[in-house]
Structure 1
Amino acid sequence: MSDLRRVIAAALTSVAGAVFVIAAMVGPAAAGPTERGALNAPLAAAGVSSVAAGYAHTCAIRTDATLWCWGSNWSGELGDGTGVDRTTPVRVGTAATWSGIDAGASHTCAVRTDHTLWCWGRNFRGQLGDGTTTNRTAPVQIGTATTWASVSAGDSHTCAVRTDGTLWCWGFNRLGQLGLGSSVYTVSTPQQVGTATTWASVTAGFAHTCATRADGTLWCWGDSSSGQLGLGSVAYSTAPAQVGTATTWSGATAGYAFTCAVRTDHTLWCWGENGYGQLGAGVTYQTTPMQVGTVNTWSRVNAGDDTACAARTDGSLWCWGNNMAGQLGDGTTTNRYAPTRVGTATTWTTGLAVNYHTCVIRTDAGLWCWGNNANAQLGDGTTTQRSAPAQVTLP
């Protein structure tokens, strides 16, 4: 566990009021409590197109393409030019051209509609990609390329896909998480991963990375101490290695030491560490992909530190794993070893972000957040933790 994880875990334990004990294996729970604010949701909803959750901060892009962030700002991860924590959303600059965003531990990266890439926040390992190790309190453009399609920010490394199908990574590489085929310690500018031009998506975890290609194959690299690469072993890899032979992977998400992915047949699969139930089943750990239940209606999944949430094609939302701070949204702080439904809404069909807190966009009612709030990452003007969804009011 990194020093940052220890600090966060200690803070969460304090917030929860007692040291937690891993729950016994449970099956899917009944629908959780009614979400706060549900009665006036249509009136208060602000249009939000995407959301990202860091360890202690949150950022969201509105449908007008403006960018807003809140929560911890110790390293400048909110991008508002200060180091001041924000208990409610604050606008990042004046640009209204933001199209996609992701948040790492204490840094944030986003793509604009002109396909430029911008990063800010903590940069100790070169994870911002600007050629330095200097923290940035406001967005800094990464290079001059205008071909960035999407970006994923991990704990201390970042990866992104370009419109030409190439894949690029930078930042910390102690365990090969950059996929460069070497054990170089840090890289402070984007480096191309191999020569393939068919990369479709990428996800950066704590110290491992996974990516899908246009042919539906899945590739992972970096740390595999808990089997999180899905290669059938615990040996790390410094270059992309194909996960099995399936050609039906539609998207993957990397947590701290586990990975989950959805296939085109809408089945859900997870592998790696399972100390909190983050694989959605009662096993110790798994070195190859394991199907989560038998349901074939999963549409997307997102993994946080030791927690995962996924939406189904019927618009329902389900979460499992670490629930120390109520990040599963089921009204409890009990860890869950199987997907547990969040409330009764069937409009969880767009953005989904998970860490020690969770934020999800509802098509009928804007942005909702819950879980840890020690650094005001829920954006409700308080630092009070909550275990059920509540609506976030954006200016």
Structure 2
Amino acid sequence: MKTWMIQAIIPLIVLLVVIPCAGQAKLTSIWAGGGNVFALNDDGTVWGWGDNYYGEVGVGFFSNTISPNSNVINHGVWTPSKVLIDNVTMISCKGTSYALKNDGTVWAWGYGESGWLGDGGFENRCVPVQVKNLTNVKAIAAGSQNCYALKNDGTVWAWGDNRDGQCGDGTTMGDGTTPISQSSRASPVRYRGLEGVEYFITGCDQGVVAVKNDGTMWAIETNKRVDKITYGTVPDPSAYGFIKICGQKLAGMNADGHYVALKNDGTVWTWGAYVGKKFPYDSSGLDKEVEESPTRVEGLDHVVDVACTHLTNYALKEDGTVWGWGRNNLGELGSNYRTVEPYPVLVFKGPAPDSTPTPMPTSTPTPTPAITQPSATPASTPTPTPAPGFELAAALLAGLAITTLITKLRKTGR
């Protein structure tokens, strides 16, 4: 092949391969807890929605206002919004939200009264703050009233409520003498007697479990060794081939909780209490009997991640879209209405490339139950729209390639 032909073809290769790949950034994982859900984009940015009374979504404001036209209290961020943090590798949340960044530091926002933020104080924060004196972290896990961090050296560090010794420093004491700090650790302390930890297990009946390199498992909120991890009424979830299981304890219900699981074939399964039962706004057929064995969620496939919070479940599909079903009174389903959804609906298509977040309003949206969400089996999968910058680059490259080709053909013909 002649040199001039190679020079003309190269821009076309760039056009066909590089440009499409550059515009395919999408969501890679989801986390939920405490009425919130967070979706992590593959560029390290985070999008969140749901309960925001204490600033748990991390968008720069508190949603604790009362609508001027009604007595409805607005506690939620009702549509997916960009969290004020970047370079994130994982999230954990349960009333307070935590993020692990790629530099090994941990950041927190939301409820801080019991030292949950780990920043040395007891104030609520609507903007992420760095957890004090904590580096080289490889995993985090939110407990019922505190947080745990696993360092690269296999040690565990904890902060938050310590009245029952949950921080594992051998005391039931706090950092100070004021009533709010007498039993709370507002800065991380090392969990004594727990070394050689490989990873955390969350969402099981034992709370946060640390798995050591000798194979033993420890329920670190109670400092007790556990021989087996169980999930609700299912004695051996591993027999079903699940690759991820998430669960939530539900207070005031007949069943201990509900669970959502993902199989390696991309299907989603649930069991335990039905999401949405016995809560306000739940009138969409969710008041059903407890499922005692895993049941497949119809209409969901090609799923790569799952999460749940209280009475809402979520599934992230391989196309980067988030689907949810269950309770929706705090905007858990990313919609501007409070209707509970008994079957999966599209929650979030994912952020558009180079999109700029718009600050969320603090007023409560007017409920509009008549709005219909897409079903879990859409006729076609939403296709992300390329950013204008990529379209311009593609047009310029195409024009360059065509011009080069025409010029060379003219010279050859002479």
Give the TM-score, by structure 1 length. Answer: 0.52
1:109 corresponds to which of 98, 114, 117? 98
Map Cα deviations across residues 280-331 of structure 1 (whole Å, 9 max, x no partner): 9954486xxx323499976432111212233577989764543557856899
1:243 corresponds to which of 218, 223, 229? 229
Residue 291 of structure 1 corresponds to which residue in structure 2? 294
CA contact (8 A) 2:51 2:331 kept: no
Return the alpha-carbon distance in structure 2 between the equivalents of residues 319 and 67 of structure 1: 18
Higher Cα Rg: structure 1 or 2? Answer: 2
- Where does 1:1-395 land on structure 2 (aligned, <5 Å)? 62-66=41-45, 75-77=54-56, 79=58, 89=81, 92=84, 96-105=86-95, 107-153=96-142, 156-172=145-161, 186-188=184-186, 189-192=188-191, 195=194, 197-203=196-202, 209-211=207-209, 213=211, 221=219, 239=224, 241=226, 242-244=228-230, 250-257=243-250, 258=257, 259-262=259-262, 273-274=273-274, 276=276, 283-284=289-290, 290-293=293-296, 299-311=304-316, 319-322=324-327, 327=332, 333-334=339-340, 336=342, 340-342=343-345, 360=348, 362=350, 383-384=365-366
Query: Which structure has more RCO (C-alpha within 8 Å, separation ≥ 6)?
Result: 1
Give 1:124's aligned amino acid: E
Return the alpha-carbon distance in structure 2 between the equivalents of residues 274 and 141 of structure 1: 37
CA contact (8 A) 2:338 2:367 kept: no
CA contact (8 A) 1:267 1:291 kept: no
CA contact (8 A) 2:116 2:161 kept: yes
Return the alpha-carbon distance in structure 2 between the equivalents of residues 98 and 159 of structure 1: 17
1:114 alignment partner, SS class: coil
Give 1:122's aligned amino acid: Y
Return the alpha-carbon distance in structure 2 between the equivalents of residues 69 and 298 of structure 1: 19
Residue 73 of structure 2 corresponds to which residue in structure 1? none
Residue 22 of structure 1 corresponds to which residue in structure 2? none
Equivalences, count? 304
Deviation at 1:73, TM superposition (A): 5.8
Which stretch has the larger CA shift, 155-164 or 380-389?
A: 380-389
1:108 alignment partner, SS class: strand
Write 1 or 2 for the structure with the bigger share of helix. Answer: 2
1:292 alignment partner, SS class: strand
CA contact (8 A) 1:87 1:380 kept: no
**Kindly tell me: are residues 315 and 145 of structure 1, through their superposed partners in 2, closer, same or farther at Cα, counting changes over 3 Å?**
closer
Deviation at 1:212, TM superposition (A): 7.3
Return the alpha-carbon distance in structure 2 between the equivalents of residues 269 and 193 of structure 1: 37
CA contact (8 A) 1:71 1:378 kept: no
1:115 alignment partner, SS class: coil
Deviation at 1:148, TM superposition (A): 1.6
2:118 alignment partner, SS class: coil
CA contact (8 A) 1:76 1:137 kept: yes
**Kindly tell me: are residues 317 and 79 of structure 1, through their superposed partners in 2, closer, same or farther at Cα, counting changes over 3 Å?**
closer
**Kindly tell me: are residues 144 and 136 of structure 1, through their superposed partners in 2, closer, same or farther at Cα, counting changes over 3 Å?**
same
Return the alpha-carbon distance in structure 2 between the equivalents of residues 283 and 179 of structure 1: 39
2:114 alignment partner, SS class: coil
Give 2:99's aligned amino acid: A
CA contact (8 A) 2:50 2:332 kept: no
Map Cα deviations across residues 83-136 of structure 1 (whole Å, 9 max, x no partner): 5888884662xx75333334432x322121111111133211221123432334
Map Cα deviations across residues 354-377 of structure 1 (whole Å, 9 max, x no partner): xxxxx545599999xxxxxxxx99
CA contact (8 A) 1:261 1:301 kept: yes
Write 1 or 2 for the structure with the bigger share of strand. Answer: 1
Return the alpha-carbon distance in structure 2 between the equivalents of residues 335 and 364 of structure 1: 26
Return the alpha-carbon distance in structure 2 between the equivalents of residues 362 and 60 of structure 1: 8
Return the alpha-carbon distance in structure 2 between the equivalents of residues 328 and 120 of structure 1: 21
1:151 alignment partner, SS class: strand
Map Cα deviations across residues 32-56 of structure 1 (whole Å, 9 max, x no partner): xxxxxxxxxxxx9985555656657
Which stretch has the larger CA shift, 142-151 or 53-62?
A: 53-62
Return the alpha-carbon distance in structure 2 between the equivalents of residues 91 and 332 of structure 1: 23
Return the alpha-carbon distance in structure 2 between the equivalents of residues 59 and 150 of structure 1: 16
Return the alpha-carbon distance in structure 2 between the equivalents of residues 221 and 202 of structure 1: 9
CA RMSD of superposed structures (Å): 5.7
Give 1:307's aligned amino acid: T
Return the alpha-carbon distance in structure 2 between the equivalents of residues 252 and 218 of structure 1: 20
Give the TM-score, by structure 2 length. Answer: 0.50
1:383 alignment partner, SS class: coil
Q: Percent identity?
A: 24
CA contact (8 A) 2:36 2:332 kept: no
Map Cα deviations across residues 203-234 of structure 1 (whole Å, 9 max, x no partner): 369x972447489x9968599xxxxxxxxxxx
Deviation at 1:197, TM superposition (A): 3.1
Residue 40 of structure 1 corresponds to which residue in structure 2? none
Map Cα deviations across residues 241-297 of structure 1 (whole Å, 9 max, x no partner): 33157767643323343344446677766565557469x9954486xxx32349997
Q: Which runs of 5+ in 1 are unaligned?
A: 1-43, 224-236, 344-358, 368-375
Give 1:342's aligned amino acid: V
Return the alpha-carbon distance in structure 2 between the equivalents of residues 118 and 58 of structure 1: 16
Return the alpha-carbon distance in structure 2 between the equivalents of residues 66 and 79 of structure 1: 12
Return the alpha-carbon distance in structure 2 between the equivalents of residues 120 and 267 of structure 1: 33
Return the alpha-carbon distance in structure 2 between the equivalents of residues 264 and 214 of structure 1: 25
CA contact (8 A) 2:276 2:311 kept: yes
Return the alpha-carbon distance in structure 1 between the equivalents of residues 119 and 373 of structure 2: 37
Deviation at 1:341, TM superposition (A): 3.8
CA contact (8 A) 1:325 1:385 kept: no
